[in-house]
Amino acid sequence: MWYESVDSTNNEAARLISSLDNLSVISALHQTAGRGQRGNTWNSDSGTNLMFSLVLKFGDRVLPVLPATLQFAISEATTLGIAEFLKRYGISARIKWPNDIYVYDRKICGILIENRIRNGLVSASIVGIGLNLNQETFPDNLPNPTSVFLESGKVSDIRKSLEYLLDDIGKYLDILVSEGYADALRVPYLKKMYRKDAVHLYIDNLDGHEFEGIIRGISDNGCLVVETSDGFVREFAFKEISYVIS
Ligand code: BTN
C-alpha cells in the first residue's frame, strides 16, 4: 500500500493492523512525523528514499508462534536482509547493534521495530525501515548519514528497490521459520556486526561515563556483550550503551 504522504508508516500500520494481512507493507513517499529510535524523529527528503513498515503477524503457517524471548530474531532477519540488498550495489554494510545499518562510520538505514507482546508471545511486529536511497545531501545536524547513491553512484527506482528489499528480508524470515527461530541467524548476524572484536569507545548510559570496550557478541536475549579494558564482560540492553563515533 503506497501513500503520497502519511504521518508515519509505523503509525499507519498500527492504526490498520487488525485489518491487514500478514506481511502487508505500508510505504510512503513522504512522512510528516517520521519516528526514529529513542523518541527521535526521522527526516527524509520526499520521494527520494525508502520509508515503509512491514507488518508481521505471528501464529499462522507462514510465521508460526514466536516467543517474546526470541524477539531479537526479527531484528536479525531484517538487518541481514537489508545488508543483502545493499550487496546488490556492491555496498558492504555492517549492522550496528541493534538496528542500524552502517557503511564504515556512516548510517545508511535506520529501523524502528515495534512489537506487540501478549502472554509471552510476539503477536505482531511493525518493522519500520528508513533506507537512504537517492538522497545526495543531508541536513548538517545529522551526524553521519550516507545513501545508496552516495556509496555506489547509482540512482534507484524506489518501487523496484522496495520489491528487491522485501525479497531479501523475506529470505531471512524463511530461514528463521524453517529453523524454528532460535539461533537460526545468530552466526551471520555476528559476522556482519559493526565494530565487533575491535577496541572502541562507548558510553555507559547508566552513569554517563565513557569507556573502552570490545564488542564480543549478543546474549541469548539480544543484549550487546562488551568486554571492557579491565577484563570484565558486560551485557547492555538497548538504551544502556551508546557508541562514540567521531
Ligand atoms: C532510527 O534510526 O532511529 C529508526 C528510523 C526508522 C525510520 C522508519 S521510516 C519508516 C518507518 N516509519 C517511521 O515513522 N519510522 C520508520
pLDDT in tens, 150-207: 999 999 999 999 999 999 999 999 999 999 998 889 999 999 999 999 999 999 999 9
pLDDT level of residue 246 (50, 70, 90 thresholds):
confident
Average model confidence (pLDDT) across the chain: 97
Ligand 1 atom with the shortest distance to the CA of 52? 10
Average pLDDT estimate for 85-97:
98
- Give the helix/strand (H/E) hosting 191: helix 186-191
Pocket test for ligand 1, best of 42, 43, 133, 142 (most atoms within 8 A of CB): 42
Measured from the CB, is residue 36 less than 6 Å from ligand 1?
A: yes
Q: Is the pLDDT of residue 91 over 90?
A: yes
Q: Which atom of ligand 1 is nearest to the CA of 8?
A: 14
In angstroms, what is the span from residue 104 Cα to ligand 1's centroid?
A: 21
C-beta 71 within 6 A of ligand 1:
no
pLDDT in tens, 102-130: 999 999 999 999 999 999 999 999 999 99
pLDDT at 160: 98
Cβ-contact 20, 45 below 8 angstroms: no
- Report the separation in Å between the CA atom of 195 and the middle of ligand 1, taken as the mean of its atom positions: 23
pLDDT surpasses 90 at 77: yes
Retrieve residue 34's grid coordinates.
Answer: 517520521
The protein residue with its alpha carbon nearest to ligand 1, atom 11, reads: 128
* pLDDT band, residue 80 (cuts 50/70/90): very high
- Nearest one of 102, 67, 63 to 82, comparing CA atoms: 102
Mean pLDDT along residues 3-17: 98
